[in-house]
Structure 1
Amino acid sequence: MISAINDFERENMLERQREGIAIAKAAGKYKGRKEVSIPDFDKPYQRYIIRELSMSQLAKEIGVSRPTLDKLIKEHQQVTI
């Protein structure tokens, strides 16, 4: 019984959160996470492909985290295919 009450309260809280985010977006206050784009990503990427740089070195060189670099590489590969 207590579990059902907790689930109900959790759903109410999440619904209020969604409503608050929708209101903030409508007011222009909630913009989400900023997009990361690296101009001329192809040159450092080619250095990574020929094993001149490791993935960690490439991430440090362009100033992003490893997960962000993984995302950029995945997007770059989709564009070039």
Structure 2
Amino acid sequence: MTKIGYARVSTTDQDCSLQEAALLKAGCEVIRSEKRSGISTKGRDELETVLSFLRPGDTLVVTKIDRLARSLGDLMGIVERLQAKGVALQATDQNVDTSNAAGKAFLQMLGVFAEFETNLRKERQLEGIAKAKVAGIYKGRKPSIDAAKVREMQAEGIGATAIAKALGIGRASVYRMISG
């Protein structure tokens, strides 16, 4: 019956210390932290470590459900893994108890709102980029491939594979530059 804590922040300028303090206060014996986006579970090594470490009777503790997952699909996938192992889920800042129907429903609602918030943030970002483009402020990132060099090498009779290798780019990128 061990409490294992998991803390996550999205960006490098954020800090897990407040979450870690709350997890310690909640009685966690082990706490794993990482700085990774919560939009996907891919690449979240500390989360995977925690999920594989948990044993029947343990409790996974987070401060908020959105620290665990930002999409309902990922959240439900994690919850299913926990249930299959006989592990409970607790959120210190939210009344989550996965041992009863009401707690499971509340957990799903929190997951829906976390995903909704992520989608709203994406929409606002895209709107901001569109406005900046219209105003001439945003031009996108600078090209990482020198199209002139690709065309020059192609004109010299060098094949796409050799160009890609010489410039350290993908062959498909070479074909895009040549045809575009």
Query: Which residue of structure 2 lines up, in the alignment, with residue 11 of structure 1?
Result: 119
3-state SS of 2:138 partner: coil
Return the match for 2:129 from 3, 21, 43: 21
3-state SS of 2:152 partner: coil
- C-alpha RMSD of matched pairs (Å): 2.9
**Structure 1 portions without partners, runs of 5+:** 60-64
Question: Equivalents in 2 of 1:26, 1:54: separation in Å?
Answer: 35
Q: Cα offset for 1:34?
A: 3.5
Deviation track 1:43-68 (CA, whole Å, cap 9, x = no partner) reads: 1xx3447xxx6853x22xxxxx323x
Question: Between the two proteins, what is the percent identity of the paired residues?
Answer: 29
Q: Cα offset for 1:26?
A: 1.4
Greater length-normalized contact order (CA 8 Å, ≥ 6 residues apart): 2
Query: Which residue of structure 1 lines up, in the alignment, with residue 18 of structure 2?
Result: none
**Structure 2 portions without partners, runs of 5+:** 1-108
Amino acid at match of 1:37: A
Q: Which runs of 4+ in 1 moved over 6 A?
A: none
TM-score scaled by length of structure 1: 0.58
Return the match for 1:40 from 152, 155, 159: 152
Query: Which residue of structure 2 lines up, in the alignment, with residue 66 of structure 1?
Result: 169
Question: Equivalents in 1 of 2:158, 2:136: separation in Å?
Answer: 40
Amino acid at match of 1:2: L
More strand per residue: 1 or 2?
A: 2
3-state SS of 1:29 partner: coil
Q: Cα offset for 1:37?
A: 1.3
TM-score scaled by length of structure 2: 0.30
Query: Which residue of structure 2 lines up, in the alignment, with residue 62 of structure 1?
Result: none
More helix per residue: 1 or 2?
A: 1
Bigger Cα Rg: 2
